[in-house]
With several copies, the nearest count.
Chain A
Amino acid sequence: MVHLRSAVCMLGRFPALAGADLDVESGEIVLLSGANGAGKTTLLRLCAGLLPLRSGQAEVLGVDLAVDRRAIRRALALVGHETFCYDDLTVVENLHFATRAAGHSSAAADAALERLALSRVAHVTHGRLSQGQRRRVSLAIALARDPRLLLLDEPHAGLDEEGRLVLDEVVRGAPGEGRTVLIASHELDLARKLATREVRLAAGQIREARADVSRPDISRPPRAEAIA
């Protein structure tokens, strides 16, 4: 699915990804953790083919990104800080545009709308949506595109409890539907419950990769002892 070998991405003169090695097999749910500015978003954007590979190898969905960054686009979905939506179009219109652009049927779009309980705001223009509603919209778009690789950048942020339930069941269901998932998140206790594996980024490199994430001492962030 995703294979990085000392992959380097430069943002300007800064190596936001400074030689990362990562192997994600089909059906995995991998959690990317790491401090602010560690390079999580950059890594996800690289995997989505949005950033050029400066050096090293990067193979996603069997395609070598150094050769072609566009072939994989229809087969993946990225849920990031931005919704990629048009403020003047309603939720439905945005959803349908994105879905049909990816060559899927509007039916898929409507199903996704239902699933994320967006019907109430279906005809509100995107510009007026609340933060969490926007997050739901981008999740809906991602689902409607039925991707084989699902890249989630802090997916829990801004979602209410109901939304988190949906998100969690989407992620949990992913392997069953033949999806591979990469999650970058700071809500570690939630994300670790979902992930089959955690990978820690630091200074643009993969530091430790742990197989077992369920060790309590890890899953409970230091904060807890530190203060309470």
Chain B
Amino acid sequence: MTLVRKYAFGAAVLVALAVTAVLALFVSPDDAVQGDAVRLLYLHVPSAWIAYLAFFVTAVASVLWLVPRTRRPTWDLLAGASAEVGVIFTGLTLALGSLWGRPVWGTWWEWDARLTTTAIMFFLYLGYVALRRTGATADERGKRCAIAALIAFADVPIVHFSVNWWQTLHQTGTVFNEELNPTIHGSMAFTLVFGVGAFTLLYGYLVLRRLRIAELEEGLEEREVERAIAERLRAEQVVPA
């Protein structure tokens, strides 16, 4: 993409995040029960949802790569990039969650279903990232990673429904949740939605950048293959064969 558009994108992300911060810190009211702690909601929930989105993208890209007809090197790289960003957001969710838990639950960590499944999701994708980084060539790696990604994705719905399936300390279901705050309908809901939007922008930005880097590293579109061949021929004319 052209420089202009790239910077435009970056700027948009920054602005969106800034606005979210303002909304979260000043506009939205603090919570009856939790006081200011509730403002973590605007970071915690979006990052969790973006993590889902990232892993979903990874799964889809993996499928596209697995299907011979749609296979392009880019899908493999996109899957990797999205997974890495997803791992970051999952880590964020965990960190913010436990930060939040301290004041609200009086503990950093609780072995409840939502938290545990989230931790497992985190490690599953850490493993996936490690699998990608084994120094194998894209060909050796591609199929294994794609399948690993699909297996790992099975955990995501479990994380989401964990709160319904098991008796958990963690908030259940919807954001419009009584003991969280009665007045969520108004500015809170808006802030949350806006925050999700901002995070989605951030996610898109990060993934695109990571994808570019990955493509420079190893993405081999046809022309790059051509160039590699040309290079090799040039190089080996020197060597007496």
Contacts and interface: CB of A to CB of B under 8 A. Distances in A.
Answer yes or no: A and B touching, Cβ < 8 Å: yes
A51 B229 CA distance: 18
Q: Is the interface of B mostly helix, strand, loop or mixed?
A: helix
A38 B225 CA distance: 17
A15 B135 CA distance: 17
Contacts of A10: 137, 139, 220, 225, 228
B67 interface: no
Contacts, number: 55
A55 interface: yes
A15 B227 CA distance: 10
Interface stretch (B83-91, B107-115, B173-181, B231-239): B231-239
A8 B225 contact: yes
B106 interface: no
A15 B229 contact: yes
Interface string A199-228: 000111100000000000000000000000
Contact of B225 (A54, A88, A120): A54
Interface residues of A, number: 24
A19 B229 contact: yes
A117 B139 CA distance: 29
A205 B234 CA distance: 13
B218 to A, nearest CB: 7
Contact of B220 (A13, A88, A120): A13
A158 interface: no
Contacts of B237: 203
A13 B241 contact: no
Contact of A35 (B229, B233, B241): B241
Interface of B: 135, 137-139, 218, 220, 222, 225, 228-229, 232-233, 235-241
20 contacts: A8-B225, A10-B220, A11-B137, A12-B137, A12-B218, A13-B218, A13-B228, A15-B225, A15-B228, A34-B241, A35-B239, A35-B241, A51-B139, A52-B139, A54-B220, A120-B236, A203-B236, A203-B241, A204-B229, A205-B233
The 6 closest A-B pairs by CB, nearest first: A203-B236, A12-B137, A18-B229, A35-B241, A202-B241, A15-B229
